[in-house]
Amino acid sequence: MSEDSAQAPSEGVLQRLGEFAARDRWPAKGWCRIERALEVIGTRSAMLVLRELFYGGTRFDEFTRRTGLSEAVVAGRLKQLHADGIVERRPYREAGKRTRDEYVLTERGRQLFPILVALMQWGETLRDDHRTGVELIHRDCEAPLTVQVRCTDGHRVPLEQGAVRIKDEDYVKSALGRK
Amino acid sequence: MSEDSAQAPSEGVLQRLGEFAARDRWPAKGWCRIERALEVIGTRSAMLVLRELFYGGTRFDEFTRRTGLSEAVVAGRLKQLHADGIVERRPYREAGKRTRDEYVLTERGRQLFPILVALMQWGETLRDDHRTGVELIHRDCEAPLTVQVRCTDGHRVPLEQGAVRIKDEDYVKSALGRK
DNA sequence: CTTCTAACTATGGTTTTCCATAGCCAGAAG
DNA sequence: CTTCTGGCTATGGAAAACCATAGTTAGAAG
């Protein structure tokens, strides 16, 4: 039967398929995309600086003032975000001022947008002081923004209809074999 | 003109509307939903435990073994996730074993799903070893999962079409006034 | 040349996060 | 009653993240 490799249906959670049903076969060690993402944007300071970048902030002093982070931390974070290809530095010049750099999101940085929206959406549910805070909206129709999980065929996918599997079982077997 | 409060169009970033154009009016201090979310799930250990919960893990030793975190950290994180209403404990009993608790996501916990998918999606773009790792798919059609930013009217909203504004400007003014 | 300022860097200390090791405890098995 | 095991707790210490304060530096202005 084709069901023998699937986990016992524990409700409301991803279904594990194939070899991944025996979860231990897959050592997240360096392969998990979540861990990978967190190495880059996994600190509070990184998220707050990113928030300001998405809100249109570009200058060093904006980041310190609006995030409440110390200058040292902001400097370090910008340096790291730059090294990771999330922001780029652009020299610019205001009249009567010296040349300085502004920071703008790269394409890779802009791809973080869904993460920020997802965090805001979930953070909204934590308390009920719904008069404070900001909201994201669609410029055209002014309707609030949300994130949705969909498959590439366009269906909305609630958690109960999701599943996980190892992308390339043959590769994983051979990679684990010679070790 | 209604444009005077909008920021200079810095390309590919959220447009700031209304009072929020002068960003300093809004002190994120305690009001930012992102900060709020990070207070609860802002650590690496919380994310890794959550990953296992979404993959269907329920038992203490699964979490330690599969995340590589120490027992103390897992215990502390489960305690916090429980206090924050993200997991619930359910006593259960295996034949011949003593009673213990398993951990399952609550509804609030399940609402973290888009965050996890968004992180995985972005983490995928960081390196190009595309044979490693797992993928999330739709059970029905087996197409891979993605997160999309949409407005509540159903339009897909790329970053350039997004905007931010303060939810309740009157409230913010009065709240900041008497302080 | 001196002054001023934005954008950093450096230093020291605190807090948070984490690991490793060891110990404890409840209850089923013997 | 003793043993064993899974699920923790306790302790000590290392490392990372962060803050506050105090410089430093490049260039424009005077």
- Tell me the average pLDDT across B32-61: 97
Domain annotation covers residue B70? yes
Mutation site for A-interface testing, chosen from B145, B146, B156 by largest number of A Cβ within 10 Å: B145
The amino acid at residue A118 is: A
* Cβ within 8 Å, pair B161-A147: no
pLDDT at A108 over 90: yes
| Protein-contacted bases of chain C (C-beta within 7 A) | 5-12, 16-22, 26-29
CB A94 under 7 Å to nucleic chain D = no
Domain range for A92 is 15-177
Domain annotation covers residue B165? yes
- State the average pLDDT for chain A: 90
Chain B contact set for A10 (CB, 8 A): 56, 58, 104
pLDDT of residue B110: 98
Band (B26; pLDDT cuts 50, 70, 90): confident
- Tell me the average pLDDT across B133-158: 97
* Cβ within 8 Å, pair A42-B38: no
The amino acid at residue B16 is: R
Do the beta carbons of residue B41 and residue B47 sit within 8 Å? yes
- Tell me the average pLDDT across B148-157: 97
Domain annotation covers residue B133? yes
Give the integer Cα–Cα distance in Å for A31 and B61. Answer: 21
pLDDT at B174 over 90: no
Q: A113 versus A178: which is more confidently predicted?
A: A113
- Tell me the average pLDDT across B174-179: 66
- Tell me the average pLDDT across B48-64: 96
Nearest CA distance, A17 vs chain B (angstrom): 10
Phi, psi of A147 (to 5 degrees): -110, 145
Q: B27 versus B84: which is more confidently predicted?
A: B84
Chain B contact set for A143 (CB, 8 A): 151-153, 155
Domain count for chain A: 1
Domain annotation covers residue A147? yes
Domain annotation covers residue A10? no
CA at B39, C1' at C25: how many angstroms apart? 32
* Cβ within 8 Å, pair A33-B153: no
pLDDT of residue B10: 65
Domain annotation covers residue B159? yes
Give the integer Cα–Cα distance in Å for A103 and B170. Answer: 32
Nearest CA distance, A133 vs chain B (angstrom): 5
The CATH number for B19's domain is: 1.10.10.10
Q: For residue B95, give the 3-state DSSP assignment.
A: coil
Indicate the angle between helix axes A33-41 and B44-54, nearest 10 degrees.
160
Domain annotation covers residue A9? no
Chain A contact set for B171 (CB, 8 A): 131-132
* Cβ within 8 Å, pair B34-A13: no
Strand nucleotide closest to residue A78 (CA to C1'): C8
pLDDT at A132 over 60: yes
Domain annotation covers residue B82? yes
